Amino acid sequence: MSTLTPPSAPKSDAVAPPPVTLRGSARVLLRVHRKALWAAGGLLVIGIGIVVALRVWMASAKELCSDGDMTPCGGDYLPSYARTSSELYLSDGGTVLLLLAGLIGVFVAGPLIARELESGTFRLAWAQSVSPAHWLAARLAVPAALAVIGLTVLIAVYRWGLWALRGYPYSHLTPWHASGIFPGTGPALLGFALLAVAVGGLCAVLVRRTLLSMSLTGLVLGVVALGLGKRRYELWPHVLRQGQGPQAVSPVDWHLDYGMLTASGHRLYWQDCFGDGMAEDARACMRARGGVTHFTEVHPASHYWPLQLVETGILLALAALAVFAAFRVLRRLHG
C-alpha cells in the first residue's frame, strides 16, 4: 500500500538562508543608534529654528537714520540692533556647520565602529552571514547618506538667512569669502562631511579603541579644515586689477594683496616697504623702487563657485583614499 506522505528532501537540498543585504544592515544600525539619530534630528530642527528666528527678527525691525527718519541718509545710516546681531551670529554659521560635520566623523570613529571592535560585538554580526566588508560598508554608507541629507537642508537654510542681509547697506560682517561663512554655504561642506565619515572609519579600524579613535579623527579633521582655510585663496587663480577706484577695488571682492607695478611689470608689495621701516611714507618708498601703477590681487565674487568646486573635489579625493585604506586595513586584519 502506497503512502500519501511525500518523501523528505535530502539534507543536501536544504535551502540556505538568504544573505543579509546592505538594506537590512542599515535598518539594524538605525535601530541600535536611534538615540543618536534623534539627537541629530534635534540639532537639525534647532539650527533651522535659529535662522528662521533671526530672519523674522530682522524683518520686524526698522532701519533708522541717525535723526530717526526712515528716508535714505547716506553716511548717517543707523542699522537696527536686530540686523547687527543677526550678522554677528550668521558670520560664524559656516564654522558651526563645519563642526557638526566633524562631529559626524567622530561619532563614526567611536560609538559606531571602534566601540564594536573594542568590545568584540562585531563577531556576532560576522557570525550571521555578514562579511567584514559588508559590515564596514553599512557603517560608512548610513552616516554618509544621513549627513548629506541633513547638511544639505542646513546649507539651504543658512544661505536663505544670509540672503536677507543683501538688501541692507553697510553690511561688513558677512562677506562670501569669510572663513566663518564660506565652508557652510556650498558643496564643500558635504565633501568635508564625507571625508569626516571616511576618516572616522579609517581611524576606527586602525586604532580599534573608542576614545583614541575619536581623538585621532578630530585631530585629522581639524588639520584638514585649518589647512584649507589658510590656503583656500590658492585653489583658483586670482585676478590682477590695475589702477584705483571702484573698478579695481570692490566691496564684494576678496582682497588678497596690493602694491604697485614697475614699468617692466614687476610687482612691488606694500608690505615690503613697511618692513623697511618706511610705513610713514610707503608711497614714496614704492615710487623710489620704480612703482608706477597701483594693483590689487583679488578673488571676485564670480570665483565663489570655482573655489567651492575645487575644494569639494579635494575633499572627495581624500575621502575616497580614506575609504580605500579603511577596507584594506580591515581585510588585512580580519580577512
Q: How much is the pLDDT for 107?
A: 92
Task: Determine the distance from the C-alpha atom of residue 185 to the mean position of all C-alpha atoms in its chain, rounded to a whole number.
Answer: 8
What is the rounded end-to-end Cα distance, in angstroms, of the chain? 56
pTM exceeds cut of 0.75: yes
**Quick check: 317 and 197 in contact, CB under 8 A?**
no
Q: How much is the pLDDT for 60?
A: 79
Q: What is the 3-state secondary structure (H, E, C) of 75-88?
A: HHEECCHHHHHHHH
Q: What is the dihedral of CA 204, 206, 207, 212, to 10 degrees?
A: -50
**Quick check: 165 and 83 in contact, CB under 8 A?**
yes
**Quick check: 93 and 181 in contact, CB under 8 A?**
yes
Q: How much is the pLDDT for 13?
A: 47
Along the chain (335 residues), what's the average pLDDT of each consecutive run of 10 residues? 46 47 67 83 92 87 60 62 85 93 93 86 69 86 93 95 74 83 95 96 92 95 95 93 70 86 84 62 78 88 95 97 94 74
Instruction: Please state, in angstroms and rounded to a whole number, the distance separating the CA atoms of residues 251 and 46.
Output: 32
- DSSP string computed for 205-256: HHH--HHHHHHHHHHHHHHHHHHHHHHGGGSS--EEEESSSTTT--TTSEEE
Cα angle, residue 288 at apex, residues 282 and 291 outer, rounded to 5°: 80
Q: How much is the pLDDT for 242?
A: 84
Q: How much is the pLDDT for 30?
A: 74
